Structure 1
Amino acid sequence: MNLSELRESLPPYADDLRVNLGRVLLGTPLTDAQAWGAALACAIAARQPVVIGVFTAEAAARLDAPVVDQARAAASIMAMNNVYYRAQHMLGGARHPIGLRMRAITSPALAAAGVTKADFELWCLAVSAIAGCEVCLQNHDQGVRRAGLDSGAVHEALRIAAVVHAAAVTLDAAG
Protein backbone atom coordinates (compact mmCIF):
# COMPACT_ATOMS: atom_id res chain seq x y z
CA MET A 1 0.00 0.00 0.00
CA ASN A 2 1.24 3.51 -0.77
CA LEU A 3 0.20 6.91 0.60
CA SER A 4 -2.55 7.40 -1.99
CA GLU A 5 -4.00 4.00 -1.20
CA LEU A 6 -3.78 4.69 2.53
CA ARG A 7 -5.66 7.94 2.05
CA GLU A 8 -8.34 6.20 -0.01
CA SER A 9 -8.67 3.39 2.55
CA LEU A 10 -9.74 5.81 5.26
CA PRO A 11 -13.46 5.71 6.07
CA PRO A 12 -15.75 8.50 4.83
CA TYR A 13 -15.93 10.09 8.29
CA ALA A 14 -12.18 10.72 8.08
CA ASP A 15 -12.35 12.88 4.95
CA ASP A 16 -10.54 15.75 6.72
CA LEU A 17 -7.70 13.38 7.54
CA ARG A 18 -7.56 12.15 3.94
CA VAL A 19 -7.14 15.73 2.73
CA ASN A 20 -4.69 16.66 5.48
CA LEU A 21 -2.44 13.67 4.81
CA GLY A 22 -1.97 14.97 1.28
CA ARG A 23 -1.54 18.60 2.26
CA VAL A 24 0.90 18.00 5.08
CA LEU A 25 3.08 15.39 3.43
CA LEU A 26 2.97 16.39 -0.22
CA GLY A 27 2.87 20.15 0.22
CA THR A 28 5.40 20.72 2.97
CA PRO A 29 8.23 23.25 2.82
CA LEU A 30 10.43 20.78 4.73
CA THR A 31 13.13 18.87 2.88
CA ASP A 32 12.33 15.29 1.90
CA ALA A 33 14.63 14.03 4.65
CA GLN A 34 12.89 16.18 7.25
CA ALA A 35 9.35 15.36 6.14
CA TRP A 36 9.63 11.68 5.29
CA GLY A 37 12.03 10.94 8.15
CA ALA A 38 9.53 12.54 10.54
CA ALA A 39 6.64 10.65 8.95
CA LEU A 40 8.46 7.31 9.29
CA ALA A 41 9.56 7.96 12.88
CA CYS A 42 6.00 9.02 13.77
CA ALA A 43 4.50 5.96 12.07
CA ILE A 44 6.73 3.74 14.18
CA ALA A 45 5.72 5.69 17.30
CA ALA A 46 2.05 5.31 16.39
CA ARG A 47 2.49 1.50 16.31
CA GLN A 48 -0.07 0.73 13.61
CA PRO A 49 1.27 -1.96 11.22
CA VAL A 50 -0.36 -0.66 8.01
CA VAL A 51 0.78 2.90 8.72
CA ILE A 52 4.30 1.69 9.51
CA GLY A 53 4.35 -0.27 6.23
CA VAL A 54 3.12 2.67 4.16
CA PHE A 55 5.59 5.16 5.61
CA THR A 56 8.46 2.70 5.49
CA ALA A 57 7.83 2.20 1.77
CA GLU A 58 7.28 5.92 1.12
CA ALA A 59 10.45 6.90 2.99
CA ALA A 60 12.48 4.18 1.24
CA ALA A 61 11.30 5.47 -2.14
CA ARG A 62 12.33 9.04 -1.34
CA LEU A 63 15.38 8.73 0.92
CA ASP A 64 18.66 6.86 0.92
CA ALA A 65 18.68 3.72 3.07
CA PRO A 66 21.05 5.20 5.70
CA VAL A 67 18.68 8.15 6.18
CA VAL A 68 15.76 5.75 6.64
CA ASP A 69 17.79 3.87 9.25
CA GLN A 70 18.47 7.09 11.13
CA ALA A 71 14.75 7.94 11.16
CA ARG A 72 14.19 4.50 12.68
CA ALA A 73 16.93 5.28 15.20
CA ALA A 74 15.11 8.48 16.17
CA ALA A 75 11.90 6.51 16.77
CA SER A 76 13.82 3.92 18.78
CA ILE A 77 15.70 6.31 21.04
CA MET A 78 12.59 8.40 21.64
CA ALA A 79 10.53 5.34 22.55
CA MET A 80 12.90 5.00 25.50
CA ASN A 81 13.44 8.68 26.29
CA ASN A 82 9.79 9.68 26.08
CA VAL A 83 8.84 7.08 28.69
CA TYR A 84 11.69 7.93 31.03
CA TYR A 85 11.52 11.72 30.84
CA ARG A 86 7.72 11.90 30.86
CA ALA A 87 7.62 9.73 33.99
CA GLN A 88 10.36 11.75 35.68
CA HIS A 89 8.46 14.93 34.88
CA MET A 90 5.25 13.49 36.36
CA LEU A 91 7.16 12.55 39.49
CA GLY A 92 8.44 16.08 39.94
CA GLY A 93 11.74 16.05 38.11
CA ALA A 94 14.85 13.96 37.70
CA ARG A 95 16.11 12.41 40.91
CA HIS A 96 18.91 10.32 39.43
CA PRO A 97 21.16 10.48 36.40
CA ILE A 98 19.35 8.69 33.56
CA GLY A 99 22.10 6.09 33.13
CA LEU A 100 20.78 5.00 29.73
CA ARG A 101 22.85 5.05 26.57
CA MET A 102 21.68 7.65 24.02
CA ARG A 103 24.46 7.87 21.45
CA ALA A 104 22.02 7.83 18.51
CA ILE A 105 21.43 11.54 19.00
CA THR A 106 25.11 12.39 18.56
CA SER A 107 26.26 9.37 16.59
CA PRO A 108 28.81 9.72 13.79
CA ALA A 109 26.37 7.56 11.80
CA LEU A 110 24.16 10.64 11.42
CA ALA A 111 26.77 12.55 9.46
CA ALA A 112 27.80 9.42 7.57
CA ALA A 113 24.16 9.00 6.47
CA GLY A 114 23.94 12.64 5.43
CA VAL A 115 21.49 13.42 8.23
CA THR A 116 21.88 16.81 9.85
CA LYS A 117 21.54 17.43 13.56
CA ALA A 118 18.53 19.62 12.70
CA ASP A 119 16.81 16.77 10.87
CA PHE A 120 17.35 14.28 13.69
CA GLU A 121 16.18 16.77 16.32
CA LEU A 122 13.08 17.48 14.24
CA TRP A 123 12.26 13.77 14.00
CA CYS A 124 12.72 13.40 17.76
CA LEU A 125 10.44 16.38 18.38
CA ALA A 126 7.71 14.90 16.17
CA VAL A 127 7.86 11.54 17.94
CA SER A 128 7.78 13.31 21.32
CA ALA A 129 4.56 15.07 20.30
CA ILE A 130 2.90 11.69 19.76
CA ALA A 131 4.19 10.42 23.10
CA GLY A 132 3.14 13.60 24.88
CA CYS A 133 6.47 14.11 26.58
CA GLU A 134 6.70 17.77 27.54
CA VAL A 135 10.35 17.59 28.59
CA CYS A 136 11.41 15.97 25.31
CA LEU A 137 9.29 18.38 23.26
CA GLN A 138 10.93 21.35 24.91
CA ASN A 139 14.44 19.94 24.66
CA HIS A 140 14.11 18.99 20.99
CA ASP A 141 12.44 22.30 20.15
CA GLN A 142 15.54 24.01 21.55
CA GLY A 143 17.77 21.55 19.67
CA VAL A 144 15.96 22.22 16.39
CA ARG A 145 16.37 25.97 16.83
CA ARG A 146 20.05 25.69 17.88
CA ALA A 147 20.60 23.64 14.74
CA GLY A 148 19.27 26.48 12.60
CA LEU A 149 15.61 25.68 11.92
CA ASP A 150 12.79 28.02 12.85
CA SER A 151 9.30 27.73 14.33
CA GLY A 152 7.93 27.04 10.84
CA ALA A 153 9.86 23.77 10.66
CA VAL A 154 8.63 22.81 14.12
CA HIS A 155 5.06 23.61 13.04
CA GLU A 156 5.40 21.40 9.96
CA ALA A 157 6.87 18.50 11.97
CA LEU A 158 4.00 18.73 14.46
CA ARG A 159 1.48 18.70 11.61
CA ILE A 160 3.13 15.54 10.25
CA ALA A 161 3.02 13.93 13.69
CA ALA A 162 -0.66 14.84 14.04
CA VAL A 163 -1.81 13.38 10.72
CA VAL A 164 0.33 10.24 10.88
CA HIS A 165 -0.93 9.52 14.39
CA ALA A 166 -4.52 10.25 13.36
CA ALA A 167 -4.20 7.84 10.42
CA ALA A 168 -3.02 5.12 12.77
CA VAL A 169 -5.85 5.74 15.26
CA THR A 170 -8.44 5.86 12.47
CA LEU A 171 -7.27 2.61 10.88
CA ASP A 172 -7.29 0.87 14.25
CA ALA A 173 -10.79 2.14 14.97
CA ALA A 174 -12.08 1.10 11.54
CA GLY A 175 -10.90 -2.44 12.32
Structure 2
Amino acid sequence: MSLKEFSDALPDYAKDIRLNLGSLLGDQTLGDQRKYGLLLSCAHGSGYKPIVDAAEAECVPHLSEEAANAARAAAAVMAMNNVYYRFVHLSSNKEYGQMPAKLRMNVIGSPGIEKVDFELFSLAVSAMNGCGLCIDSHEKVLRQHNIGTDIIQSAARVGAVIKAAATVHATAV
Protein backbone atom coordinates (compact mmCIF):
# COMPACT_ATOMS: atom_id res chain seq x y z
CA MET A 1 0.00 0.00 0.00
CA SER A 2 1.32 3.45 -0.90
CA LEU A 3 0.87 6.56 1.23
CA LYS A 4 -1.75 7.71 -1.30
CA GLU A 5 -3.70 4.49 -0.76
CA PHE A 6 -3.24 4.86 3.00
CA SER A 7 -4.54 8.41 2.74
CA ASP A 8 -7.53 7.32 0.65
CA ALA A 9 -8.51 4.91 3.46
CA LEU A 10 -8.96 7.76 5.93
CA PRO A 11 -12.60 8.54 6.79
CA ASP A 12 -14.45 11.54 5.42
CA TYR A 13 -14.16 13.44 8.69
CA ALA A 14 -10.39 13.46 8.10
CA LYS A 15 -10.63 14.96 4.61
CA ASP A 16 -8.24 17.75 5.63
CA ILE A 17 -5.62 15.17 6.62
CA ARG A 18 -6.07 13.43 3.24
CA LEU A 19 -5.64 16.73 1.41
CA ASN A 20 -2.60 17.69 3.48
CA LEU A 21 -0.95 14.32 2.89
CA GLY A 22 -1.61 14.69 -0.84
CA SER A 23 0.00 18.14 -0.74
CA LEU A 24 3.07 16.73 1.01
CA LEU A 25 3.42 13.95 -1.53
CA GLY A 26 3.22 16.46 -4.38
CA ASP A 27 5.58 18.99 -2.81
CA GLN A 28 8.69 19.59 -4.92
CA THR A 29 10.36 22.25 -2.76
CA LEU A 30 12.34 19.97 -0.43
CA GLY A 31 13.99 17.67 -2.94
CA ASP A 32 13.54 13.91 -2.86
CA GLN A 33 15.98 13.02 -0.08
CA ARG A 34 14.50 15.51 2.35
CA LYS A 35 10.88 14.94 1.41
CA TYR A 36 10.96 11.15 1.43
CA GLY A 37 13.37 11.03 4.36
CA LEU A 38 10.98 13.17 6.39
CA LEU A 39 8.00 11.03 5.41
CA LEU A 40 9.86 7.84 6.33
CA SER A 41 11.31 9.11 9.61
CA CYS A 42 7.95 10.51 10.71
CA ALA A 43 6.13 7.31 9.78
CA HIS A 44 8.60 5.31 11.87
CA GLY A 45 8.35 7.94 14.60
CA SER A 46 4.58 7.48 14.73
CA GLY A 47 5.02 3.89 15.84
CA TYR A 48 2.01 2.87 13.74
CA LYS A 49 2.93 -0.15 11.60
CA PRO A 50 0.41 0.40 8.75
CA ILE A 51 1.78 3.90 8.03
CA VAL A 52 5.35 2.61 8.40
CA ASP A 53 4.63 -0.06 5.79
CA ALA A 54 2.99 2.48 3.46
CA ALA A 55 5.90 4.90 3.87
CA GLU A 56 8.46 2.17 3.24
CA ALA A 57 6.67 1.23 0.02
CA GLU A 58 6.38 4.87 -1.04
CA CYS A 59 9.76 6.20 0.02
CA VAL A 60 12.42 3.55 -0.35
CA PRO A 61 12.41 3.66 -4.18
CA HIS A 62 13.22 7.39 -3.91
CA LEU A 63 15.96 7.12 -1.28
CA SER A 64 19.41 5.60 -1.22
CA GLU A 65 19.80 2.80 1.31
CA GLU A 66 21.93 5.19 3.40
CA ALA A 67 19.22 7.86 3.42
CA ALA A 68 16.47 5.35 4.25
CA ASN A 69 18.53 3.96 7.12
CA ALA A 70 19.29 7.47 8.36
CA ALA A 71 15.55 8.28 8.37
CA ARG A 72 14.85 5.12 10.36
CA ALA A 73 17.75 5.88 12.69
CA ALA A 74 16.48 9.42 13.32
CA ALA A 75 13.12 7.98 14.42
CA ALA A 76 14.83 5.37 16.60
CA VAL A 77 17.20 7.68 18.41
CA MET A 78 14.54 10.38 18.84
CA ALA A 79 12.20 7.79 20.40
CA MET A 80 14.80 7.57 23.17
CA ASN A 81 16.10 11.14 23.26
CA ASN A 82 12.70 12.83 23.17
CA VAL A 83 11.60 10.97 26.30
CA TYR A 84 14.85 11.60 28.16
CA TYR A 85 15.30 15.25 27.20
CA ARG A 86 11.62 16.04 27.71
CA PHE A 87 12.10 14.69 31.26
CA VAL A 88 15.18 16.90 31.71
CA HIS A 89 13.29 19.92 30.37
CA LEU A 90 10.09 19.38 32.37
CA SER A 91 11.68 18.40 35.67
CA SER A 92 11.73 21.18 38.23
CA ASN A 93 15.09 19.79 39.44
CA LYS A 94 17.53 21.47 37.05
CA GLU A 95 20.36 19.24 38.28
CA TYR A 96 19.34 16.65 35.64
CA GLY A 97 20.32 19.08 32.90
CA GLN A 98 23.85 19.18 34.27
CA MET A 99 24.25 15.40 34.39
CA PRO A 100 25.58 13.32 31.49
CA ALA A 101 22.75 11.52 29.67
CA LYS A 102 24.70 8.23 29.53
CA LEU A 103 22.75 7.26 26.43
CA ARG A 104 24.43 6.03 23.27
CA MET A 105 23.53 8.17 20.29
CA ASN A 106 26.48 7.76 17.94
CA VAL A 107 24.23 7.94 14.87
CA ILE A 108 23.76 11.68 15.45
CA GLY A 109 27.46 12.27 14.84
CA SER A 110 27.71 9.83 11.94
CA PRO A 111 24.30 9.34 10.29
CA GLY A 112 25.59 8.16 6.89
CA ILE A 113 24.09 11.18 5.07
CA GLU A 114 24.57 14.93 5.26
CA LYS A 115 24.20 15.99 8.87
CA VAL A 116 21.75 18.75 7.96
CA ASP A 117 19.27 16.25 6.47
CA PHE A 118 19.56 13.98 9.52
CA GLU A 119 18.97 17.01 11.77
CA LEU A 120 15.87 17.87 9.74
CA PHE A 121 14.51 14.32 10.16
CA SER A 122 15.29 14.46 13.88
CA LEU A 123 13.57 17.83 14.27
CA ALA A 124 10.37 16.55 12.62
CA VAL A 125 10.22 13.47 14.86
CA SER A 126 10.97 15.65 17.90
CA ALA A 127 8.09 17.93 16.94
CA MET A 128 5.80 14.89 16.72
CA ASN A 129 6.96 13.76 20.15
CA GLY A 130 6.66 17.20 21.72
CA CYS A 131 10.21 17.56 23.01
CA GLY A 132 10.92 21.28 23.18
CA LEU A 133 14.54 20.84 24.22
CA CYS A 134 15.22 18.61 21.19
CA ILE A 135 13.29 20.90 18.84
CA ASP A 136 15.39 23.85 19.97
CA SER A 137 18.63 21.88 19.66
CA HIS A 138 17.95 20.61 16.13
CA GLU A 139 16.56 23.95 14.97
CA LYS A 140 19.72 25.70 16.21
CA VAL A 141 21.96 23.33 14.22
CA LEU A 142 19.80 23.73 11.12
CA ARG A 143 19.91 27.53 11.35
CA GLN A 144 23.73 27.36 11.78
CA HIS A 145 23.77 25.51 8.45
CA ASN A 146 21.69 28.28 6.84
CA ILE A 147 18.52 26.22 6.58
CA GLY A 148 15.61 28.63 6.24
CA THR A 149 12.57 28.77 8.45
CA ASP A 150 10.44 27.68 5.48
CA ILE A 151 12.30 24.34 5.29
CA ILE A 152 12.14 23.88 9.06
CA GLN A 153 8.42 24.65 9.03
CA SER A 154 7.95 22.11 6.22
CA ALA A 155 9.63 19.45 8.34
CA ALA A 156 7.30 20.21 11.25
CA ARG A 157 4.34 20.11 8.86
CA VAL A 158 5.34 16.63 7.68
CA GLY A 159 5.48 15.46 11.29
CA ALA A 160 2.07 16.97 12.03
CA VAL A 161 0.35 15.41 9.02
CA ILE A 162 1.94 11.96 9.42
CA LYS A 163 1.06 11.91 13.13
CA ALA A 164 -2.53 12.93 12.39
CA ALA A 165 -2.87 10.36 9.60
CA ALA A 166 -1.56 7.58 11.86
CA THR A 167 -3.83 8.62 14.74
CA VAL A 168 -6.97 8.83 12.62
CA HIS A 169 -6.25 5.57 10.78
CA ALA A 170 -5.57 3.72 14.04
CA THR A 171 -8.91 4.76 15.50
CA ALA A 172 -11.05 4.60 12.34
CA VAL A 173 -10.04 1.31 10.79
Q: Classify the TM-score, shorter chain.
A: over 0.9
Q: 1:91-117 deviations in whole A, cap 9, x for unaligned?
A: 13414111111110111x52xxxx211
Unaligned ranges ≥5, structure 1: none
The structural deviation recorded for 1:148 is: 2.5
Aligned residue for 2:88?
A: 88
Q: Tell me, what secondary structure is at the counterpart of 1:66? A: helix
Q: CA–CA distance in 2 between the matches of 1:89 and 1:28?
A: 36
Residue 117 (structure 1) aligned with residue 120 (structure 2): no
Aligned residue for 1:31?
A: 31
Q: Tell me, what secondary structure is at the counterpart of 1:35? A: helix
Q: 1:74-104 deviations in whole A, cap 9, x for unaligned?
A: 1111111101000011113414111111110
Residue 105 (structure 1) aligned with residue 103 (structure 2): no
TM-score (norm 2): 0.94
Q: Percent identity?
A: 39
Aligned residue for 1:56?
A: 56
Aligned residue for 2:144?
A: 146
Q: Tell me, what secondary structure is at the counterpart of 1:97? A: coil
Aligned residue for 1:133?
A: 131
Q: CA–CA distance in 2 between the matches of 1:134 and 1:86?
A: 7
Aligned residue for 1:18?
A: 18
CA contact (8 A) 1:118 1:144 kept: yes
The structural deviation recorded for 1:25 is: 2.7
* Aligned CA-pair RMSD: 1.2
Structure 1 stretches of 4+ with a deviation exceeding 6 A read none
Aligned residue for 1:75?
A: 75
Q: CA–CA distance in 2 between the matches of 1:32 and 1:40?
A: 12
| CA 162–28 in structure 1, closer or farther in 2 if over 3 Å, else same | farther
The structural deviation recorded for 1:36 is: 1.0
Residue 9 (structure 1) aligned with residue 39 (structure 2): no
